[in-house]
């Protein structure tokens, strides 16, 4: 068994190594926006199916990777762009079309809960604590009370926090950004472990989307122009909700009806499978779940360990595994989503990239859908969201670009 884990790590290092090399080959861009819109393409051969080849080259590559990791102090953002796919083409090749841009500013530490709460309570353009389901779960709507007649795009934000922590009041600045940019922001709280399990969380995300569709017009939102973003565990819950609803799978004993049409589903650094490979990556090469790195708080860490233990290798909570049971082209209407946008960042040591890639593969295999894969170099697991909630221009612009693209 040890050998298998070692091979996984080597393969991951190999993949990172190819990325590091590719970055050096790409020209620089000045602006994030330019990078996002740029057509520049770089072809890289990254086929994860090509195991033999990978293993043959692994020793040399690991040496190179280690060298590159130590030499590579650039903080460049690299964007792999843009794949609007219709049919099953060679995904791996198409996914690797990176462009590169300038160094982002360093991420600041977000406010403490108390400071965030104070900002939240003093923020004006918000409707607070609207109950959206029968359990009394609440959400906030960020909107301009002086202009509720023009129809504005709506962005729902499902925060991350390892399914065990976080609170909507910490994301006021994200809601404020949306409001300032002439959007409507919807940020719910949802049940967290151990007060609920994944099906309860999925229910909350599902109800949030339904509530938004049915109620957002009174705040000036366009119900036909709703996007939803999930980060980390939030991305997992969004993906799981969309897929369960798209397939009409039972959740907490109730068959989910199709969701309203969504303009964009934006998934930032999400885990979509809880298998051995994921655990090994997440735990930095060990399979000891007692050392989960996604949270520093020992209490949260213990809860996360428990949760992952419950769902380890569970086919019903992994969007990838659910789709693997489906035949090619068997899902109709593209899950009722116009386009999926996947974002992954090179310095994410918590979630492996294969998580995003495998989900893309399964989505377009079962329901040829429009999607985009954005690969950002130099950012960690939470850089984008932390950048937004500390009011960094680059990240605010990046967030808006990603959701409106
Ligand atoms: C971790 O690896 C050890 C040794 O390979 C194995 O005995 C153990 O069952 C593994 N634990 C888990 C949780 O997979
Ligand atoms: C990718 O592989 C093909 C064939 O295996 C080869 O012709 C091509 O040069 C390779 N591209 C790069 C960038 O290595
Ligand atoms: C709204 O909910 C937040 C928690 O998300 C809470 O801290 C705050 O006190 C509530 N505000 C009101 C007016 O109920
Ligand atoms: C936990 O993981 C970190 C990072 O991989 C490592 O540095 C640390 O030694 C590990 N701690 C234990 C108790 O295994
Ligand atoms: C389903 O699609 C995959 C990849 O898109 C392809 O490799 C496979 O052969 C297809 N299977 C069938 C039964 O058509
Ligand atoms: C939906 O919102 C986007 C911005 O996110 C905007 O570009 C687009 O024009 C809107 N679509 C419609 C039909 O209003």
Over the stretch 243-265, which tens digit does the pLDDT of each residue have? 999 999 999 999 999 999 999 99
Query: If you take atom 2 of ligand 4, which residue's CA is the nearest one?
Result: 291
Whether 251 and 147 map to the same domain: the answer is yes
- 207 Cα to the center of ligand 4, angstroms: 39
Task: Please determine, for residue 41, whether its predicted confidence score (pLDDT) is greater than 90.
Answer: no
Domain count, the chain: 2
Choosing from 285, 312, 339, the residue where a domain stops is 312
Q: Is residue 335 included in any domain, yes or no?
A: yes
pLDDT for the residue 109: 75
If one compares 98 and 168, the residue with the highest pLDDT of the two is 168
User: Which residues are within 8 A (CB) of 195 and not within 5 positions of it... i.e. 6 or more apart?
Assistant: none
Q: Respond yes or no on whether the N-terminal peptide bond of residue 222 is cis (omega within 30° of 0).
A: no
Whether 243 and 305 map to the same domain: the answer is no
Q: Is residue 83 included in any domain, yes or no?
A: no
- 64 Cα to the center of ligand 1, angstroms: 30
Q: Is residue 177 included in any domain, yes or no?
A: yes
Whether 217 and 246 map to the same domain: the answer is yes
* CATH code assigned at 370: 3.40.50.1820
Closest atom, ligand 6, to C-alpha of 264: 5
Task: Please determine, for residue 28, whether its predicted confidence score (pLDDT) is greater than 60.
Answer: no
pLDDT for the residue 77: 38
pLDDT for the residue 44: 29
| Residue 342: band (very low, low, confident or very high) from pLDDT cuts 50, 70, 90 | very high
Query: If you take atom 9 of ligand 1, which residue's CA is the nearest one?
Result: 287
Residue 289: nearest ligand to its CA?
1
pLDDT for the residue 368: 85
Whether 138 and 148 map to the same domain: the answer is yes
Whether 182 and 222 map to the same domain: the answer is yes
Q: Is the CB of 45 under 6 A from ligand 2?
A: yes
Measured in whole angstroms, how far is the alpha carbon of residue 283 from the centre of its chain?
19
Distance CA 162, CA 168 (A): 14
pLDDT for the residue 286: 61
Closest by CA position to 33, among listed 94, 77, 95, 96? 77
Query: If you take atom 8 of ligand 1, which residue's CA is the nearest one?
Result: 287
Lookup: tokens for 128 = 């607070």
Q: Is residue 82 included in any domain, yes or no?
A: no
Range of 38's domain? 1-73+275-312
pLDDT for the residue 288: 59
Distance CA 395, CA 358 (A): 27
Whether 294 and 318 map to the same domain: the answer is no
pLDDT for the residue 151: 97
Average pLDDT over residues 8-14: 39
Q: State how far the alpha carbon of 15 is from the alpha carbons of 19, 45, 145, 346, 370, in Å.
A: 6, 10, 49, 11, 25
| Mutational pocket test of ligand 2: of 45, 50, 52, 92, the residue with most ligand atoms within 8 Å of the beta carbon | 45
Whether 127 and 159 map to the same domain: the answer is yes
């Amino acid at each position: 068994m040890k050998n298998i884990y070692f091979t996984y790590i080597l393969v991951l290092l190999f993949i990172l190594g190819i990325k590091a090399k590719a970055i050096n080959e790409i020209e620089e861009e000045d602006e994030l926006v330019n990078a996002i819109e740029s057509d520049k393409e770089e072809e890289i051969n990254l086929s994860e199916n090509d195991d033999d080849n990978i293993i043959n080259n692994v020793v040399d590559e690991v040496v190179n990777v280690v060298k590159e990791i130590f030499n590579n102090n650039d903080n460049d953002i690299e964007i792999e762009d843009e794949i609007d796919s219709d049919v099953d083409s060679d995904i791996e090749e198409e996914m690797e079309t990176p462009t590169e841009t300038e160094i982002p500013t360093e991420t600041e530490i977000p406010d403490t809960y108390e400071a965030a709460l104070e900002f939240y309570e003093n923020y004006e353009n918000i409707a607070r604590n609207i109950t959206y389901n029968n359990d009394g779960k609440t959400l906030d709507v960020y909107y301009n009370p002086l202009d509720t007649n023009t129809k504005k795009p709506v962005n729902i934000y499902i925060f991350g926090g390892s399914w065990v922590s976080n609170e909507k009041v910490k994301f006021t600045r994200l809601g404020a950004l949306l409001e300032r940019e002439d959007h409507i922001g919807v940020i719910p709280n949802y049940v967290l472990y151990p007060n609920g399990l994944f099906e309860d969380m999925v229910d909350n995300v599902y109800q949030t989307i339904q509530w938004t569709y049915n109620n957002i017009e009174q705040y000036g939102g366009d119900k036909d122009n709703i996007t939803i973003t999930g980060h980390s565990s939030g991305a997992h819950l969004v993906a799981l909700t969309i897929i369960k609803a798209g397939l009409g799978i039972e959740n907490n004993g109730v068959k989910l009806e199709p969701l309203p049409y969504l303009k964009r589903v934006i998934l930032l650094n999400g885990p979509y499978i809880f298998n051995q490979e994921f655990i090994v990556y997440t735990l930095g090469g060990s399979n000891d779940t007692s050392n989960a790195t996604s949270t520093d708080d020992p209490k949260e860490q213990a809860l996360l360990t428990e949760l992952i233990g419950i769902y380890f290798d569970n086919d019903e909570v992994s969007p990838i595994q659910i789709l693997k049971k489906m035949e090619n082209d068997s899902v109709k209407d593209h899950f009722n989503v116009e386009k999926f946008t996947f974002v992954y960042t090179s310095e994410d040591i918590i979630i492996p990239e294969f998580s995003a890639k495998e989900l893309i593969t399964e989505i377009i295999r079962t329901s040829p859908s429009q999607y985009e894969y954005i690969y950002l170099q130099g950012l960690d697991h939470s850089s984008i969201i932390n950048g937004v909630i500390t009011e960094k221009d680059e990240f605010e612009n990046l967030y808006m670009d990603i959701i409106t693209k």
